């Protein structure tokens, strides 16, 4: 039985997030976070660390040994701050452990139900869950289709089906003339290639992307248009909590903000102008580089000039007309936001605008990320089994068993094929029936 893990509280951001871990490994896996279980059913405050030892968050650990738990299995609950970055960080660590996977929709409840832990009326509440799941499945389908991943995964699935057919033919039809004794041998080369394809693909995956690393905003503009003031205003506002630290380069000041529950990295850059000394020119080069990497650029100007042709055309840019209180002849413009750091209302209104943009941008990526996270689970599992079947010097039926598991894991993404498909492939490849 796998140990399953998932965020079991409501959607993020929220004040507190509850991450539930259920299954035989529940008590031991949290050591990967540097945490441990203490007295049953009592809270203890602990620090959760990333695989590299850095602190993710501080929170409560609750230990419910079987059978006195929600699911009837060993359960550990972690209560953390309800930020997406924290939750993604903790799930990342847990899911990297062998035998731990994301819970499927309703799986906690299903286990609870099987263990006689919830009654009929509670189970009926699952209907809501399934609605949510249907929506999620639709999104998965869209995601698969959009990224060309569907074809890729189906192709892998097909290669696995083929390999299994060859191996099973060698086992079940060993006495057939048309099945050469060495038919299984050719399979292992193909499987080694498949192994490399999947592992290269996995390396390319950035598990939680911007949610984890933060949404990057760059402040760009000519010198002295009020970039630093805006940064301070945003950082000082009670709507944005400054959680850190001075800049990483001497030219770019970066602050970490929490906007709408998302981690946002706001960078103040050196002012950009055409005639500059060599030191200043280096600063400008870095500003532009920062802008290229940004998810959103706030382009500041204290006059109505919007020349940002040095910025990558794909970048999302928001024009900010700064020092709005000092200008008398402002032309109303839908694409421009007027901000004065002296006017708290204008800063709040900018923050609202930013919240909306970030939510839209990241929500898309959040779906992708949740799906990817599950894919990575299945693909990693597939890879492990594939490796065992390739590396194993054991008897054919044991290697076949690993291939079966590998195909099963991939099938959780693409849909399962069953014995009939394997047999179908055998009968179309070989003349069986003496």
Helix axis angle for 344-391 and 84-95, nearest 10°, is 10
Measure the CA–CA gap between 368 and 363, rounded to whole angstroms: 9
The CB-of-34 to another protein minimum distance in angstroms stands at 28
Alpha carbon separation from 335 to 188, 319, 353 (Å, rounded): 59, 7, 12
Compute the least distance from the CB of residue 134 to another protein, in Å: 6
In 83-136 the beta strands, taken as DSSP E runs, fall at: 100-102
Q: Which is nearer to another protein, 8 or 346 (CB)?
A: 8
- CB 169, min distance to another protein, A: 9
Residue 175 Cβ vs another protein, minimum distance, rounded to whole Å = 6
* Chain residues in the site for another protein (CB under 8 A): 1, 104-107, 109-111, 113-114, 120, 123-124, 126-131, 133-134, 168, 171-175, 177-178, 393-398, 401, 404, 415-416, 419, 422-424, 427, 431-434
Q: Shortest distance, CB of residue 418 to another protein, whole angstroms?
A: 8
Nearest to 235 by CA among 211, 261, 252, 258: 258
322: left (phi over 0), alpha (psi -120 to 50) or beta: beta
> Closer to another protein at the Cβ: 131 or 206?
131
Residue 172 Cβ, how far from another protein at the closest point, in Å? 5
Q: Kindly give, in sequence order, each residue whose CB lies less than 8 Å from that of residue 289, ignoring residues fewer than 6 positions away.
A: none
User: Cα separation of 381 and 33, whole Å?
Assistant: 21
Task: Please say which residue, 133 or 282, places its beta carbon nearer to another protein.
Answer: 133
Q: Which CB, 109 or 298, lies closer to another protein?
A: 109
Q: Output the smallest distance, CB 31 to another protein, in A.
A: 22
Quick one: 161 or 231, whose CB is closer to another protein? 161
If the CB atoms of residues 120 and 313 are measured against another protein, the closer one turns out to be 120
| CA 340 to chain CA centroid, nearest Å | 37
- Residue 15's SS3 state is strand
Specify the residue, 109 or 272, whose C-beta has the smaller distance to another protein: 109
Q: What does the alpha-carbon distance between residue 117 and residue 70 come to, in Å, rounded to a whole number? A: 7
Residues 6+ apart with CB under 8 A from 86: 17, 56, 57, 80
């Amino acid at each position: 039985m796998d140990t399953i893990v998932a965020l079991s509280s409501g959607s993020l951001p929220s004040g507190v997030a509850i991450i539930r871990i259920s299954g035989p490994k529940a008590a031991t896996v949290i050591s990967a976070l540097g945490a441990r279980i203490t007295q049953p059913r009592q809270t203890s405050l602990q620090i959760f660390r990333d695989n590299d030892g850095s602190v993710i968050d501080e929170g409560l650990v609750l230990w419910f040994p079987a059978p006195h738990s929600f699911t009837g299995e060993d359960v550990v609950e972690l209560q953390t701050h309800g930020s997406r970055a924290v939750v993604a960080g903790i799930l990342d660590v847990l899911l990297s452990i062998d035998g731990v996977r994301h819970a499927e929709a309703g799986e906690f409840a299903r286990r609870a139900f099987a263990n006689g832990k919830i009654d009929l009326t509670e189970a009926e509440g699952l209907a809501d869950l399934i609605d949510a799941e249907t929506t999620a499945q639709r999104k998965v389908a869209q995601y698969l289709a959009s990224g060309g991943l569907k074809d890729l995964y189906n192709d892998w699935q097909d290669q696995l089906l083929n390999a299994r057919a060859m191996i099973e033919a060698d086992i079940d039809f060993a006495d057939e003339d048309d099945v050469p004794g060495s038919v299984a041998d050719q399979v292992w080369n193909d499987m080694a290639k498949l192994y490399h394809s999947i592992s290269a693909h996995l390396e390319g995956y950035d598990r939680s992307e911007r949610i984890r690393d933060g949404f990057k905003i760059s402040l760009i503009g000519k010198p002295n248009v009020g970039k630093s003031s805006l940064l301070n205003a945003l950082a000082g506002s009670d709507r944005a909590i400054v959680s850190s630290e001075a800049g990483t380069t001497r030219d770019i000041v970066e602050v970490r903000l929490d906007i709408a529950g998302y981690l946002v990295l706001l960078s103040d850059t050196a002012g950009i102008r055409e005639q500059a000394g060599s030191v200043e020119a280096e600063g400008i080069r870095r500003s532009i580089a920062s802008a290229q990497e940004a998810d959103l650029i706030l382009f500041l100007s204290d006059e109505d000039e919007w020349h940002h042709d040095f910025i990558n055309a794909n970048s999302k840019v928001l024009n900010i007309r700064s020092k709005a209180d000092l200008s008398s002849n402002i032309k109303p413009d839908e694409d421009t936001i007027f901000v004065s750091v002296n006017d708290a209302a204008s800063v709040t209104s900018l923050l609202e605008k930013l919240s909306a943009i970030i939510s839209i941008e990241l929500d898309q990526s959040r779906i992708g990320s949740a799906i990817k996270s599950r894919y990575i689970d299945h693909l990693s599992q597939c890879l492990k089994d594939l490796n065992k079947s390739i590396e194993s010097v054991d008897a054919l039926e044991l290697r076949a068993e690993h291939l079966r598991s590998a195909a099963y894991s991939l099938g959780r993404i693409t849909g399962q094929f069953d014995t009939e498909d394997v047999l179908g492939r055998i009968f179309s490849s070989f003349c069986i029936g003496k």
